[in-house]
Structure 1
Amino acid sequence: MAKQTELPFRLDSQLTEVMRLRVQSLQQRSQRRQEGERLLRPDEAVYRLDFSQQSLRFSHWTVRLAQPGRLTVTATSQLWTPDLTHLMTRQLLEPAGVFWRGPADAAVSCYEADAAEFGERIAELAKVRKVMYFLFGFADGCSPESVDGAITFTVDS
């Protein structure tokens, strides 16, 4: 029987702060971002996914929203090294995962086809990565405190 592993998204508060400082620095100096640079928005935070194994097949998402709201998860490609370079728009992967919960909804909804394709792309990148970074965008009442997310993979033996 195939073994499954659930990998939780973890807030990278240090990297989020570094990216916020970049935005502040540009604003204080009245400078523009570099051509193609993607700046962190106030309603975004950086999360990471650590891969302990590389041979993974996407199984399913587990996203819990404690209250109504919308969460957009955008992955960055393997080219981004946040400690050395600025995040560039071309390093953001499509499609993004969009998850939401309405005021009358008990369960979280998503665009199933996009979420499945997104999960499969993450599994592909896991073959060459030990860690991946993601931008979590919070909207409509969603916040880092109200979100819990993970991806479950089947481990290829």
Structure 2
Amino acid sequence: MDQAEAPSNTMVLEFKEDTALTERSGQKRQDGERLLLPHEAVYRLDFHNQELIFSRWNVSLGGHGRVTITGISQHWTPDLTHLMTRQLLEPIGTFWRNAGDPDESRLKCLEADMQEFGERIAELAKVRKVMYFLFAFKDGAEAAKLLCSVAFRGENDC
């Protein structure tokens, strides 16, 4: 799951923080809302090609910690109401490295969930040009130490 060179028929999409949306965290919570927590950020993927087949995740994290990635099934708004909370995608992607693990050790993940999550992103890309994701950084993980992308191949490349 670490960074790798992509073959020429592979499209690698990098998750990019949407700072304008992330900066809305810390607002006053209204009844029924779930606002961003200080350790959370909104990221996005922009799809220039919408006919994709999931290939693999490319994730590297400096140090130790846990990064949880949750897809949002609709356009992001500053709050996640009860209705919107039900529209968070499953499965949730989680990558981690324990505190005692060497920094150069491979990140751990639940591979079946990550495969399903990648396939779900490819499926949703057929009807969207942009997808938003909620990234949560825990146990020492920091956004500045994370590189995260997902690789796809075009449906016509099979």
- Whether the TM-score (by the shorter chain) exceeds 0.5 is yes
Q: TM-score, normalised by structure 1?
A: 0.85
* Residue in structure 1 matched with residue 146 of structure 2 by the alignment: 147
Report the aligned-residue RMSD: 1.7
* Residue in structure 2 matched with residue 71 of structure 1 by the alignment: 67
Higher helix share: 1
In the alignment, is the contact (CA less than 8 A) between 2:55 and 2:152 conserved in 1? yes
Structure-to-structure mapping, 1:8-87, within 5 angstroms: 8-18=14-24, 20=25, 23-26=26-29, 32-34=30-32, 37-77=33-73, 79-82=74-77, 86-87=79-80
Instruction: Give the AA of the match of 2:79.
Output: H
Q: C-alpha displacement at 1:64, in angstroms? A: 0.5
Structure 2 Cα separation of the partners of residues 33 and 122 of structure 1: 31
In the alignment, is the contact (CA less than 8 A) between 1:48 and 1:131 conserved in 2? yes
Q: TM-score, normalised by structure 2?
A: 0.85
Structure 2 Cα separation of the partners of residues 72 and 63 of structure 1: 12
* Residue in structure 2 matched with residue 29 of structure 1 by the alignment: none
Structure 1 stretches lacking a partner, 5+ long? 27-31
* Residue in structure 1 matched with residue 114 of structure 2 by the alignment: 115
Give the ranges of 4+ consecutive aligned residues of structure 1 lying more than 4 Å apart after TM superposition: none
Structure 2 stretches lacking a partner, 5+ long? 1-6
Structure 2 Cα separation of the partners of residues 101 and 4 of structure 1: 27
Provide, for residues 72-102 of structure 1, a one-character-per-residue CA deviation record: whole Å limited to 9, x for no partner: 000000x3342xx733201210110000012
